[in-house]
Amino acid sequence: MGRARRWIPTIATLLLLAGCANTTGGDALAETTSSAAMSTTASAPTPWDPCTIRDEAIERAGLNVDTKESGVFGRDQFGFKICGWESQPSDSKYYVRIFVGFHTIDWISDTSRFDRLEPVQVGARAATQFQQVASDASLDCGVAFTAGTELVMATIITGTQVGNPPYDPCTELNTVVAALDSELPT
């Protein structure tokens, strides 16, 4: 009987709270829930999504809109929003990916990932050309520049079946990125 007396105030308080919530028509509960939801929905800003580039611009740049892939194997990486396309069907197939994230240009100075950094001009933008470590410069290339608070990187990777492409990968990539310039963040 002594134990029951200790629990009676707790049970009475719970019943009183439940009764109060019911007599107000759930308004008090709704206010509490919505306030809690509002405080947990604030999220970090996300980078601009290159998959929002208009299809017409992708086609003008020589890429195949039907091959659009969000992320790398469907996933964004290292805080970057990523989108990629294949070249128009031909014997010289390549893949272009655009990465956008809240990084500085120094991000590509990481020698465990990138090397052969070189200043270049891509359209009207000052950029840095790079190679991914262990990539073949005759098949692959990358370029990066900042746009406001975002780092924009683009890469070209020549398909494994191509062998010796009839284009210079860096020249081809710079042409594609320059063609997309009006679609990219400023």
Mean pLDDT check: name the lowest of 86-95, 99-108, 127-136: 86-95
- Distance set, CA 137 to CA 48, 60, 92, 123 (Å): 29, 25, 16, 21
pTM: 0.75
Measured between its terminal Cα atoms, the distance across the chain in Å is 75
Q: In whole angstroms, give the CA distance from residue 75 to residue 85.
A: 15
Q: In whole angstroms, give the CA distance from residue 96 to residue 51.
A: 12
pLDDT on residue 29: 39
Question: Mean pLDDT, to the nearest integer, of 101-108?
Answer: 96
Percent of the chain with pLDDT over 90: 63
Q: Which CATH architecture has domain 50-183?
A: 3-Layer(aba) Sandwich (3.40)
Does residue 13 register a pLDDT over 70?
A: no
pLDDT on residue 120: 97
Nearest partner of 78 among 140, 151, 165, 157, judged by Cα = 151
Nearest partner of 158 among 137, 143, 179, judged by Cα = 137
